Amino acid sequence: MVSDRVKILLLMIFYMPVVFIIFAAIIFIPANDWLWLEGWLFIGVFICYAFLYTLYALIKNPEMFMKRAKYTTDDPDHKAFSDKKLLVGGLVLLAFMVIFPALEHAAGNPPLPWMIELVGFLGLIIGLVGMTYVNIVNRYASKGLVIHKDHELITAGPYQYVRHPLYALVIPFILGTPLLLGSFIGFLASWSFIPLLIYRIRIEEQMLIDHLPGYIEYMQQVPYRLIPKMY
């Protein structure tokens, strides 16, 4: 039987080049410019994040990494809650967040001032680094809406302040990407991702209320979903 570490290693060898090719295609082909600096910055940051996170999982916790990659649960007493359509919609929006700026670049539209692009770059870094930290704190975080075997309620770290810190950190990544790529239109389009995020949170919270002991009490202790004192 192939171990989880071997599977992750194979993913690193074969999957990351595929991700690089996909990103390069959706950025540089519409941009019609393979020397576009902002495009290379985005790809470089994202690929470095994916490589370092996967390397951490390979060394520290390969079993949980493989669980996160699935939509199924290892607990026979629970089922996975379907949100694949929502995920597909989110991926389409993410693609447009990158394609819009690329098309603007190809059309010769002037980029945003470099200070705004720097804000976008920082948002990208904060989002990716923060999401990695949350994934380390919460070993049950998954791509799908699932309850794992021996699932425990996590209240440490950022979960002391908001109930969904992972989603909170998706926001600077989502909004920062088109800013880094120099597109105000892409930035406006990226806001359409927020309602999808809020909708997914509501589905997930109902699942946790129904199937995770202590979650209702946790909601009373931590009343904010994404932003302390606001929402």
- pLDDT confidence of residue 67: 64
Q: Which H or E element spans position 32?
A: none
Q: How far apart are CA 211 and CA 231, in angstroms?
A: 24
Residue 202, SS3?
helix
Distance between CA atoms of 101 and 181, rounded to whole angstroms? 6
**Residue at 231 is within a domain:** no
CA distance 133 to 135: 5
Which residues 6+ apart lie within 8 Å of 125 measured at CB? Answer: 45
Decide if 230 is inside a domain: no
In the chain (231 residues long), the average pLDDT of successive 10-residue segments reads: 68 81 90 92 89 78 65 53 64 77 90 92 93 83 70 87 92 92 88 85 87 90 91 87
pTM over 0.85: no
Q: Is 88 a member of any domain?
A: yes
Q: Does any domain span residue 226?
A: no
CATH number at residue 78: 1.20.120.1630
26 domain residue, yes or no: yes
Q: Given its phi and psi angles, is residue 110 left (phi above 0), alpha (psi -120 to 50 degrees) or beta?
A: beta
SS3 104: helix
Nearest to 218 by CA among 136, 171, 177, 162: 162
Overall number of domains in the chain: 1
In a domain, 228, yes or no: no
Residue-level pLDDT at 35: 92
**Domain presence at residue 125:** yes
Q: Are 12 and 51 in contact (CB under 8 A)?
A: yes
Q: 123 lies in which domain range?
A: 4-221
Asked if residues 54 and 12 have their Cβ atoms less than 8 Å apart, the reply is yes
Token representation of residue 204? 């997930």
144 falls within a domain? yes
Query: Tell me, what's the pLDDT at 50?
Result: 84
